[in-house]
């Protein structure tokens, strides 16, 4: 695996591949890697002979500076995992490499309703930051394929919109969420939980599964209130949202309707750690 830090070294390492050629697949990450990230690398290898991964903790997407400061880091272990997974190129930029003019006057992206719903409400500015960094990374790497995880459901929709807006000819692939044995979605933030917290955290997935078992037999508001109660009873400190939404627009579904494609999405705090998860409804094996 080749490791590069600068844009020049990145372009040189990729000089054999034409811009946006399908032979280059790209997985952007913030490091503190786990098997969910590695599943994106594995999926990339199925698509393309060259797999590029970036590790960059992007300051512009953290609306909470304490969350940015506490974001876990494990670079040596990350490098070993990426090498073992067959990554060809690891891009490790500095803030000044991606934002040479600083982070103050970056472009704003038209995200419409996506910024007014769910994560958009609870993390103001977050998706602008995500677009800023992914746009910069796509310009730098020029991949034919971009792989993202379904765990960040709304983020996938935001990046789809970014690709349309910028008309970059990169194809988006969404990879299913990797879970621990008890159902907890793998996440870099899980490592900030205590052993007790880690056990309690799995109740977020249990609650989503319960929600799925009830849909569409009860009204969304009833299910949402009960699901929230379940998370608090399981030890969560607070619930930002647990919402049943239209799977294609994320608009809240106000009535139970088996004909609408639906997804339940949740964000909740446990031991000060913000966990998110989602489950498309009506698609689970019984």
Active site residues: 37
For 104, residues 6+ apart whose C-beta sits below 8 A from its C-beta are: none
For 5, 10, 46, 77, 234, the CA distances from 106, given in Å and listed in that order, are 22, 22, 35, 32, 41
- Residues paired with residue 278 on neighbouring β-strands, in sequence order: 265
| 260 closest CA partner among 220, 233, 209, 230 | 220
52 binds ligand AMP (CB under 6 A): no
The piece of 5-13, 34-42, 77-85, 235-243 that touches ligand AMP (CB under 6 A) is: 34-42
Could you say which of 48, 187, 203, 243 contacts ligand AMP (CB under 6 A)? Answer: 187
What angle do the packed helices 75-84 and 35-47 form, to 10 degrees? 40
Sheet holding 262-270, edge to edge: 238-246, 262-270, 273-280
Of the candidates 167, 136, 180, the one whose C-alpha atom is nearest the C-alpha of residue 10 is 136
> What residue has token string 């007014």?
116
When binding is defined by CB under 6 A, the residue of 37, 88, 123, 192 that contacts ligand AMP is: 37
CB of 211 to ligand AMP, least distance (A): 19
Pick out residues in 142-181 that bind ligand AMP (CB under 6 A).
148-149, 151-152, 175, 177-178
User: CA-CA distance, 89 to 95, in Å (whole number)?
Assistant: 19
Q: How far is the CB of 58 from ligand AMP (least distance, A)?
A: 8
Instruction: Tell me how far, at minimum, the Cβ of 160 lies from ligand AMP, in Å.
Output: 13
Nearest distance in Å: CB 254, ligand AMP:
28
Give the residue with the Cβ less far from ligand AMP, 36 or 220. 36
Taking contact as CB under 6 A, which single stretch among the options 1-9, 42-50, 183-191, 266-274 is the one that binds ligand AMP? 183-191
Q: How many residues bind ligand AMP (CB under 6 A)?
A: 17
Reading the block at residue 250, the tokens are: 């994320």
Residues within the interface to ligand AMP (CB under 6 A): 29-30, 36-37, 39-40, 148-149, 151-152, 175, 177-178, 185-188
């Amino acid at each position: 695996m080749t490791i590069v830090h600068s844009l020049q070294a990145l372009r040189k390492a990729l000089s054999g591949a034409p811009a946006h050629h399908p032979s280059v697949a790209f997985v952007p990450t913030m490091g503190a890697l786990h098997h969910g990230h590695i599943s994106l690398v594995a999926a990339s290898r199925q698509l393309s002979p060259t797999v590029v991964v970036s590790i960059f903790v992007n300051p512009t997407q953290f609306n909470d500076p304490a969350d940015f400061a506490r974001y876990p880091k494990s670079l040596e272990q990350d490098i070993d995992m990426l090498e073992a997974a067959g990554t060809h190129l690891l891009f490790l930029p500095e803030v000044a490499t991606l934002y040479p003019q600083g982070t103050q006057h970056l472009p704003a992206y038209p995200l419409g309703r996506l910024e007014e719903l769910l994560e958009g409400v609870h993390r103001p500015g977050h998706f602008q930051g995500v677009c800023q960094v992914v746009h910069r990374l796509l310009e730098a790497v020029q991949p034919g394929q971009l792989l993202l995880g379904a765990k960040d459901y709304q983020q996938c929709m935001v990046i789809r919109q970014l690709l349309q807006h910028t008309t970059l000819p990169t194809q988006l692939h969404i990879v299913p969420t990797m879970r621990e044995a008890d159902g907890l979605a793998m996440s870099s933030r899980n490592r900030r939980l205590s052993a007790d917290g880690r056990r309690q955290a799995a109740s977020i997935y249990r609650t989503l599964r319960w929600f799925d078992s009830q849909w569409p037999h009860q009204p969304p508001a009833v299910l949402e209130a009960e699901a929230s109660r379940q998370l608090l009873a399981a030890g969560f400190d607070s619930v930002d949202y647990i919402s049943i939404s239209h799977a294609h627009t994320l608009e809240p579904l106000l009535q139970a309707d088996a004909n609408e494609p639906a997804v339940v999405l949740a964000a909740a705090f446990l031991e000060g750690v913000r966990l998110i998860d989602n489950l498309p409804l009506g698609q689970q094996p019984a």
